[in-house]
Structure 1
Amino acid sequence: MKVHLYRDSDVFYNESVRALKENSAENSLFLGLLQQAIRGNNPPLFMCRAKNDVFCMQTIPNQAVLAFKTRQPSASTMNMLVQALKDRPITRFVGVKEPVLRLAHLLAKARSSSVLTVMKQRLYQLNHASLIPLTSGTIRKMKREDLPFVAKWIQEFDDEANLSEKRITVKEAEKTARQQLDKGGLYLLEVDGIPVAMANATRKMGQSVTINLVYTPRPFRKKGYATSCVTALCHQCIKDGFSVVLLYTDLGNPTSNHIYQEIGFEPVSDSIVMEVKKVD
């Protein structure tokens, strides 16, 4: 049996949703990004399935996001995936920690390459019963006049988060800011009329929504604004009818992990970003 390759992103989405329905929260990044790509008429560059256990897609250059029906795919399934990926120009792999680690090391061996852990992440889900009350400031949706400073914040966020191999340019940050304005999910926390932090409600699928782009500029840090912004956005998401609110954190930042648990988030699973390429 070989890896099944897809050209039709709608078919790929439908089959992945059916296969992953038992652990859709754990695979929310994969499913959400795929849905966004389809809605934006920008299908993935590469889509494949190994048996009915592992789904893989490439939405940006050099990076693939993976979804797993089980955290322990069989050896034959993993080897099939390695054969499908070893000659493709993909160097970064994102997904649930245990199987992505296995894949990275198998792929490194097949490519005679090195393995590097780029980021360790944790997925959290909000426990509604534990959500703390609203705190300081108020949130509002991003407006068109906010575009200049939001673009600057997005570029600063990318610089600090190291989410892709290359840092985004000013023009790319401006484009992302315009996209967020059009989608209507980015919120700003204001204190005394001044925007001091932002957070974004994205990857809306049925009753599920994910919060990302949580950022506080340096002049406003250590004042609890990120906590206030995320808390207020959680309340807004619940008001908008979402029963499942998800959030990823960088495990290298213990402060943010502690803050999100104080807000009312509980761990679901760990994910990882691995890099597999030759080192000069």
Structure 2
Amino acid sequence: MRIRTFDDVEAFHHRVAHLIQTDPVIYSVMATNLARARRRSQEDALWFTIDDGPTVIAAAMWTPPYPVHLSFGEPELASALARHLLSQDMRPPGVAGVSPAVSSFARFWREEVGDTTETVMDQRLFTVDEVIESETVPGTPRRSRPSDLDLASGWGAAFQVEAMGTEPARKDDFTDRLADGALWLWEDEDRRVSMTFASKVSSGVSRISYVYTPPEHRRRGYAGALVAAVSRYILSAGSRPVLFTDLANPTSNHIYQELGYRPVADFSHVVFTASGASSD
């Protein structure tokens, strides 16, 4: 087994394109980030392959300030990658990805580096083949317009604080994302009441995220109706929609399964804190 590090996104893409196609749903996070990096260079991004002879068997990425992302589930490959990063004096702030691999990587980091590790989110990846008709919800979906940008940026920041417990990594983080996909809104009587984002299709997959309804418009079915409409749109174009749910939020898990979404795999996000560092 050999682990290779790439700072050339095109070289990495050439190396892993076939691997991503073997399971584009599991590799959807990597695929969308890779496509974004090819459109707009990120100089500090690093990409990793795990090779068995001439064959790439797994891949990972690190796009600071975010954690290392593991697009595979094998624990032994994760610990090998962690050992490789440590040998190169690379110190990521955490690890995210398929849960068994994340657990193995975090365990290695805790035991070998001495950092404390904390799981900050457990998620489930879902996909859908056919959207189930649901109850009628007042309003209609539409694609965003330039005049929606200020509202959407505020909602995007609110979503990140509420769903992830953190401020956006950069002030323009959500605005940047709009260039990499389509923002959708649900309108009811000319009021914008809910939003979601669908990434550009990559390897036949579009990832739905940033599903957000402000508190004053919740419990009326807007978010579910919008996700259903966007999912149908993606399917009608011949692509596959995927989305992540927070396992701590039973409501969203239930709603999406009612729409026909089925679970694929569990993902986790673990953060590292250097031993002796302040938690303030």
Bin for the TM-score computed over the shorter chain: 0.7 to 0.9
Q: Secondary structure at the match of 1:128?
A: coil
TM-aligned CA deviation for residue 72 of structure 1: 2.5
Q: Which residue of 2 aligns with 1:41?
A: 41
TM-aligned CA deviation for residue 247 of structure 1: 0.8
TM-aligned CA deviation for residue 255 of structure 1: 0.2
Q: Report the AA paired with residue 248 of structure 1.
A: F
Tell me, yes or no, if the aligned pair for 1:37 and 1:43 is still in contact at 8 Å. Answer: no
Tell me, yes or no, if the aligned pair for 2:6 and 2:47 is still in contact at 8 Å. Answer: yes
TM-score (norm 1): 0.87
TM-aligned CA deviation for residue 129 of structure 1: 5.9
Q: Report the AA paired with residue 80 of structure 1.
A: A
Q: Which residue of 2 aligns with 1:125?
A: 127
Q: Which residue of 1 aligns with 2:3?
A: 3
Query: Pick from 253, 257, 263: which aligns with 1:257?
Result: 253
Q: Which residue of 1 aligns with 2:182?
A: 185
Q: Which residue of 2 aligns with 1:53?
A: 57
Q: Which residue of 2 aligns with 1:229?
A: 226
Q: Which residue of 1 aligns with 2:269?
A: 273
TM-aligned CA deviation for residue 134 of structure 1: 6.4
Tell me, yes or no, if the aligned pair for 1:136 and 1:191 is still in contact at 8 Å. Answer: yes
Q: 1:198/1:107 Cα in 2 relative to 1: closer, same or farther (>3 Å)? A: same
1:134 & 1:237 partners in 2: Cα distance? 20
Q: 1:208/1:2 Cα in 2 relative to 1: closer, same or farther (>3 Å)? A: closer
Residues 54-93 of structure 1: pairs in structure 2 closer than 5 A: 54-68=58-72, 71-72=73-74, 75=76, 77-86=77-86, 87-93=89-95
Equivalences, count: 270
1:224 & 1:6 partners in 2: Cα distance? 45
- Which moved further from structure 2: 226-235 or 17-26? 17-26
Q: Which residue of 2 aligns with 1:176?
A: 174
User: Deviating runs (4+, > 6 A) in structure 1?
Assistant: none
Tell me, yes or no, if the aligned pair for 1:251 and 1:257 is still in contact at 8 Å. Answer: yes
Q: Which residue of 2 aligns with 1:200?
A: 197
Q: Secondary structure at the match of 2:41?
A: coil
Q: Which residue of 1 aligns with 2:208?
A: 211
Q: Secondary structure at the match of 1:252?
A: coil
1:193-214 per-residue CA deviation (whole Å, 9 max, x = no partner) reads 1000001110411432111110
TM-aligned CA deviation for residue 188 of structure 1: 0.5
Q: Report the AA paired with residue 234 of structure 2.
A: C
TM-score (norm 2): 0.87
1:44 & 1:269 partners in 2: Cα distance? 29
- Which moved further from structure 2: 260-269 or 142-151? 142-151
2:225 & 2:66 partners in 1: Cα distance? 35
Q: Report the AA paired with residue 90 of structure 1.
A: P
Tell me, yes or no, if the aligned pair for 1:142 and 1:184 is still in contact at 8 Å. Answer: no
Q: Secondary structure at the match of 2:242?
A: strand
Q: Report the AA paired with residue 253 of structure 2.
A: N
Tell me, yes or no, if the aligned pair for 1:3 and 1:84 is still in contact at 8 Å. Answer: yes
1:220-264 per-residue CA deviation (whole Å, 9 max, x = no partner) reads 11111111111111122223x133111111111000000000111
Structure 1 runs not aligned, ≥5 long: none
